[in-house]
Structure 1
Amino acid sequence: MYRSYLKLTKPGIVLGNMISLSSGYFLASRITIHWSQLVIVLLSVALVIGSGCAVNNIVDRDIDALMTRTRTRPMVNGEISTRAALLFAGPLALSGFVLLYQGTKCPVAVMLLLVGYIVYTGFYTLFFKRHSIHGTMVGSFSGAMPPVVGYCAASGRFDTAALILWIMFCIWQMPHSYAIAIFRSADYRAAAIPVYPLVKGTPAAKRHIIGYIFAFTCVAALLVPLGYAGAIYLLAVLASGISWLWIGLRGLKAQDDILWARQLFFISIVVVTILSIAMSIDRFSPPYIGML
């Protein structure tokens, strides 16, 4: 039974967010890392994200039953009742918020995590996902919170770097999610979810994807001239951004949109992983602005 509850938290999503959260924490920490605090932050945010995913599973159990990739989820096949899932999700979120505050004494980090939780479980899951082509954008607001929470937990404040992190991770999720919507179009169509590529068409989505990738690269690079990151990070931004943009442009003449979308999805994960690693190791180098 514990496996069913673990599935309810969507471990893959939780793990992915832990990587971006760590990058934000390392970016703010620079050379001095409080490892015990980082572990607490990772655990607390993982609990809250797991709770949010559980709530999403509860609300989406009807449409999950209509999609091939989600029809075996615990809420769909009856492994877990709605009442049991709610009793599981509630304590997860509460313990996560309490642990984050106790471990950081940073109200800003807790408040940002709470806003992300409310946006995801409330605005996105309950309404925008089912009724608006802008659901992806609304969902990105909460999806971009982990690295910001990590940054604020380490620094104790919300500053320009935190804002840049939030914007760049918001933008990153758009081409990433559009790619999923393209190669999973049959599932979204079966569940009548109005994702942008399905409503406006793949050609329009491809143009938006290119624009989002370009914007992401530009915003991500801002951390360098503003003095928050150095040459290692700049090199990572340019190399990964140009590669991602090249894949995006190839989509304009792609013969197989499904194959292309899967490639775009894969490289989007590679890009965010590379930048997260670059943020983490770049703390050992002086900011690029100081090298000019």
Structure 2
Amino acid sequence: MIKTYFMLTKPGIIFGNAITALGGFILASKAQIDPWLFLATLMGLSLLIASACVFNNYIDRNIDKMMERTKNRALARGIISLQKAIIFAIFLGLFGILLLMLYTNLLTTIIALTGFFIYVILYSLSKHRSSYATAIGSISGGIPPVVGYCAVVDRFDMGAFLLFMIVALWQMPHFFAIAMYRLDDYVAASIPVLPVKRGIYITKVHMLLYIMAFLIPVCMLMLWGYTGYAYLIVMGLIGISWLLLCIKGFKNTNDKLFGRQMFRFSIVVIMMLCIMISISIA
């Protein structure tokens, strides 16, 4: 049962967001890490994200039954009662907020709560109705690195803004790639993601444009003096490689394979971003 509750928090999402929060924290601290502040920030944010994911599972429980990849989730199968899930989500959220309030600062707590609100209320309640939900979700996805950054410096400056833009723009082709290789699931659940509403070709065009936009704040992070040349060289090469893979996809007739390739490479991109921020700070 403990494992069931743990899976309800979507640990993969928690881990991914913790990685970007780590990148923001290291960038702001210039690698001079306060271990207690780091631990409190990561734990508080992770608990709040876990809470958001449980609430999302609650909201999505009916459409989860229609999708192959989600039909075995605890709330979709009724393994955990709805009341217990809500209590669990509230407990996680309150504990996460408490940690952030006690050990970070008010700005960090407010930013984290903003991300929580956008994901649980705006994104979760709109994903069944509009293809624009993906863009809303990307906003909440761009919050964790800002939380990590602001926990250190207690201000929202250009560094925080660039981190937000980088990760928010990265989210879009990442989400589109998932929607492409999981297209049958989204069709079955009548979720109006872009490939369902506008088709694969238009989705590829959007992916290309977002990757091009992503490269701008990636470069600006070095131009504004936050990172070194090694970061720019590595991220420039990775970003261009991602762009070329996307361009190649216009000739690819196996769209599910292309979607999976783009998804996997997007993971490489975000991991390398955080690694290069950590080792190439100006």
TM-score (norm 1): 0.95
Q: How high is the sequence identity, in percent, across the aligned residues?
A: 42
Secondary structure at the counterpart of residue 252 of structure 1: coil
Partner of 1:159: 157
Whole-angstrom distance in 2 between the partners of 1:3 and 1:74: 10
Partner of 1:55: 55
Whole-angstrom distance in 2 between the partners of 1:80 and 1:37: 34
Whole-angstrom distance in 2 between the partners of 1:257 and 1:196: 14
Q: Which amino acid aligns with 2:162?
A: I
Q: Does 1:146 align with 2:141?
A: no
Whole-angstrom distance in 1 between the partners of 2:178 and 2:201: 15
How far did 1:47 drift? 0.2
Whole-angstrom distance in 1 between the partners of 2:144 and 2:43: 12
Find the partner of 2:258 among 260, 263, 276. Answer: 260
How far did 1:167 drift? 1.1
Partner of 1:84: 84
How far did 1:255 drift? 1.9
Q: Does 1:27 align with 2:27?
A: yes
How far did 1:236 drift? 2.1
How far did 1:239 drift? 1.3
Whole-angstrom distance in 2 between the partners of 1:69 and 1:225: 42
- Contact map agreement 2:40 2:103 (CA 8 A) in 1: yes
Q: Does 1:5 align with 2:26?
A: no
Partner of 2:107: 108
- Contact map agreement 2:31 2:278 (CA 8 A) in 1: no
Partner of 2:65: 65
Secondary structure at the counterpart of residue 253 of structure 1: coil
Listed one character per residue, the Cα deviations across residues 162-197 of structure 1 (whole Å, up to 9, x for unaligned) are 011111111100000001101101000000000011
Partner of 2:217: 219
Whole-angstrom distance in 2 between the partners of 1:20 and 1:107: 20
TM-score (norm 2): 0.98
Q: Which amino acid aligns with 2:111?
A: L
List, as ranges, runs of 4+ consecutive aligned residues in structure 1 with deviation greater than 6 Å.
none
Secondary structure at the counterpart of residue 132 of structure 1: coil
Partner of 2:275: 277
Q: How many residues align?
A: 282
Partner of 1:134: 132
Partner of 1:290: none
Listed one character per residue, the Cα deviations across residues 234-274 of structure 1 (whole Å, up to 9, x for unaligned) are 11220110110011001110021111110000000000000
Partner of 2:191: 193
CA RMSD in angstroms comes to: 0.8
Listed one character per residue, the Cα deviations across residues 197-252 of structure 1 (whole Å, up to 9, x for unaligned) are 11000000101101101110111110111111111211122011011001100111
Whole-angstrom distance in 2 between the partners of 1:189 and 1:131: 13
Whole-angstrom distance in 2 between the partners of 1:204 and 1:273: 27
Whole-angstrom distance in 2 between the partners of 1:275 and 1:93: 28
Listed one character per residue, the Cα deviations across residues 4-44 of structure 1 (whole Å, up to 9, x for unaligned) are 10010000110111111000000000042101211111111
Q: Which amino acid aligns with 2:152?
A: A
Listed one character per residue, the Cα deviations across residues 46-65 of structure 1 (whole Å, up to 9, x for unaligned) are 10000000000001000000
Secondary structure at the counterpart of residue 130 of structure 1: coil
Whole-angstrom distance in 2 between the partners of 1:62 and 1:7: 17
Whole-angstrom distance in 1 between the partners of 2:234 and 2:163: 15
Secondary structure at the counterpart of residue 271 of structure 2: helix
Distance 1:58 1:229, change over 3 A: same
Partner of 1:120: 119
Find the partner of 2:241 among 243, 256, 268. Answer: 243
Find the partner of 2:181 among 166, 180, 183. Answer: 183
Listed one character per residue, the Cα deviations across residues 56-76 of structure 1 (whole Å, up to 9, x for unaligned) are 000100000000000000001
Find the partner of 1:230 among 225, 228, 231. Answer: 228
Q: Which amino acid aligns with 2:231?
A: Y
Unpaired runs of 5+ residues, structure 2, are none
Whole-angstrom distance in 1 between the partners of 2:274 and 2:32: 18
Whole-angstrom distance in 1 between the partners of 2:48 and 2:230: 32
